[in-house]
Structure 1
Amino acid sequence: MEQRLKARKPHTAGSMASRVRAFIVILVSLPAFLAVTPVASADPAGGAHITDIQHVTDRWDKVSVYSPSMNTVIVNDVFKAPKSGAPSFYLLPGIDGGDNLDPGVFFAPGTKSWFGMTDIQGFLANKNVNVVSPLGGQFSWWTNWVNDGSKQYQTYMTKELPPLINSQYKTNGKNAVGGLSSTGGTAIDYAVQSPGTFRAVGSYSGFLTPSDPQAAQNISLTLSTGGLSAENMWGPLGGPDWVAHDPSKNVSRLKGVAVYAAASDTGDVGEVDRLPDGFGPNISGGFIERIVSDSTRQFADAARAAGIPVTYVARPQGSHTWGLFESEMQESWNTTIGPALGA
């Protein structure tokens, strides 16, 4: 299903250098641990296992999971469903992995995240769903890297983490996943790479055409700001692995998956952004939002041409902010994720 809320406005492109600088600034700027008490945790013999669970509140846990594919421990925020037998909704972090990358701005570690920047617990308080949001993975795109064994996040999210969550929280095994900006395309790609793992996927102002030459260059430059090479992620830019992980090139593999994809057509600041009074036009954020809007539209067009139903929303306002991401997530729950999970 396609839904257009407002016709897209034309915009004037600046020089390539200024466009790239703006792209990097906003991605790097994307979006506290409380006192907790450790408790006993599940520890299946071998493989991925839970190493620790800390109770922040009666429904909010911080679950530490050992990932054998990466030989590291990843902390995951978990908002527990009010009853057992509930589905699970996974939410990926942005380019910063939940930590602050803004010079001169303070956010406690792990708080520039879904649980720190949005009202996840208020919005889903009465919904029978477990919400799971992993932390970390700065500049990883939350995918499997072909030349870096320390970054195998697709394996973690599709094979290692869900069985542990299912067991620990007695879920019904039905899963959905959403991502913002750099991980929006990744969330949809999980359904392509791991058929049957996720019943629904959501992209919130995400990049859904990564193998496009300009998009691949932008991704490469973004990762370089973290000291990383995009060729270590998916090989030569635009090559076979980039195409394999490009949602717009693999829409036929999304048959049977409920898909939501949204972005702001204009990049204009609006109430949805929740920016302080007098903040200004958010030029960099608006520029990036228009890029992801074009990418999202191309994905929706490809899905429609292939006969794959997608809930596509072109919003009239929003400038690549946590306010916009949260609003898109909430809309995805109401229109796509919740119904697909039966929650």
Structure 2
Amino acid sequence: MLPRPQLRRTIGIAALACALLAGLTAPGATASPAVAHIERIVSEGPTQSAAYVYSAAMHKTVKVQILTPASHTTVPTTSPRPTLYMLSGLGEEDPTNSIWLRKTDIVKFFAGKNVNVVLPLAGNGSFYTDWRSDDPVLGRYRWETFLTEELPPLLDERFGGNGSRAIAGLSMGAGSALVLAARHPRFYRAVASYSGCYSATDLTGQVSTRAIVKVFGGDATNMWGPIGDPRWAAHDVIRHAAGLRGTDLYISVGSGLPGRYDAPGYPGNDNPADRTVVGGAIEVGSLACTRRLQSALAAQHIPADFRFVSPGTHSWPYWVDQLHSSWPVISRALSR
């Protein structure tokens, strides 16, 4: 993998170009290896577990981290409850621990809330989609099948899910969350999307998607085929916005202008120039993508809560703020 500054510079250049032109063992777990099943569950903290799930679609075991309500809260931890799936973007350098856990306050934030939070450790550059063929470098990716068919019933049974689902994602995971929701209407009751891009068929979408996959040594042709292949159109949120009708939507993006989180000396901001210049360029690209999505949804009279944040760059402190802001939308949908 490229070092983080180099990776962000590569993506930033692509994003700016795009903007200018317009990502314990489970009891009785004896299932056949040909069927998706939980191999084991390990406690990682008072409210945190890891489920090692065999994916028949991908022929491998995937680690999925799960947050459950704290036992000392007023939340009835033994009652069935809804599930929030959270997709990350790039930079999952640690294959054992979700970047959401390392960069945000989600353990504390969700401890008193009546929801299971699921953090799949997906492969970099996967776009959380089913690839048309195995990639020589990245391997077998069948993330859509895993997330919509294999994983939900297993976790609902083991962790007391009630079948009510929402999904949230940032950056690469933002577009992926909306793609999954559009391709599976009403499967998720709510979607929260932070700083994403949503078209896979225009020049902007082609350039940025291929650049992101290439950063990790993969070939996007193995994902959705060559330019013009109908698989690209099939994963275009703009073209399939109708699939989002009836789903509660929260969509946020920054202006690209630096704010207090980007100032030198702010905790965790070890590279102010990277966050300001590269993070700003990426967010400008996301802003253009988000305005296109806003127009597409408005044209079809599909309601959505859009939040345009200024200042705001492509960086974690802003996404933490937006996660908190989006929770009332997600919570209302899950409680219906």
The structure-2 alpha-carbon separation of the partners of 1:43 and 1:214, relative to structure 1 and needing over 3 Å to count, comes to same
Give me the whole-angstrom Cα distance separating, in 2, the residues matched to 1:116 and 1:41.
Answer: 30
Report SS of the residue matched to 1:247: coil
Give, in whole Å, the separation in 2 of the partners of 1:277 and 1:115. Answer: 19
Correspondent of 1:316 among 307, 310, 331: 310
Report the secondary structure of 1:172's partner residue: strand
- Spell out the pairing of 1:56-205 with structure 2 (5 A cutoff): 56-81=44-69, 82=75, 83=77, 84-96=79-91, 98-99=92-93, 108-111=94-97, 113-148=99-134, 150-205=140-195
Secondary structure of 2:162's counterpart equals coil
1:237 aligns with 2:227: yes
Contact kept, 8 Å, 1:41 with 1:50, in 2: the verdict is no
Distance in 1 of aligned mates of 2:290 and 2:309: 11
Shift of 1:179: 1.1
Q: Which 4+ stretches in 1 moved above 4 angstroms?
A: 18-21, 272-275
> What 5-or-longer segments of structure 2 have no aligned partner?
1-7, 17-23, 70-74
Q: Please state if 1:286 is matched with 2:260.
A: no
Shift of 1:20: 5.9
Aligned equivalents of 2:27, 2:252: Cα separation in 1: 38
* Structure-2 residue corresponding to 1:11: none
Deviates more, 1:262-271 or 1:74-83: 262-271
Distance of 1:119 and 1:19 partners within structure 2? 27
What is the aligned-residue identity percentage?
Answer: 32
Preserved contact between residue 178 and residue 191 of structure 2 (Cα < 8 Å): yes
What are the equivalent positions in structure 2 for 1:42-57 lying under 5 Å apart? 43=29, 45-46=31-32, 47-57=35-45
TM-score by length of structure 2 reads 0.84
The Cα offsets for residues 229-270 of structure 1, whole Å up to 9 and x where unpaired, read as: 111111123542112111111111111111111110234233
Say which SS state the counterpart of residue 252 (structure 1) adopts: helix
Distance of 1:174 and 1:134 partners within structure 2 = 18
Shift of 1:112: 5.5
Tell me the CA shift for residue 298 of structure 1: 0.6
TM-score normalized by the length of structure 1: 0.82
Q: Runs of 5+ in structure 1 lacking a partner? A: 1-17, 27-37, 100-107
In structure 2, give the amino acid aligned to 1:232: N
Partner of residue 266, structure 1: 256
Contact 1:274–1:323 under 8 Å retained in 2? no
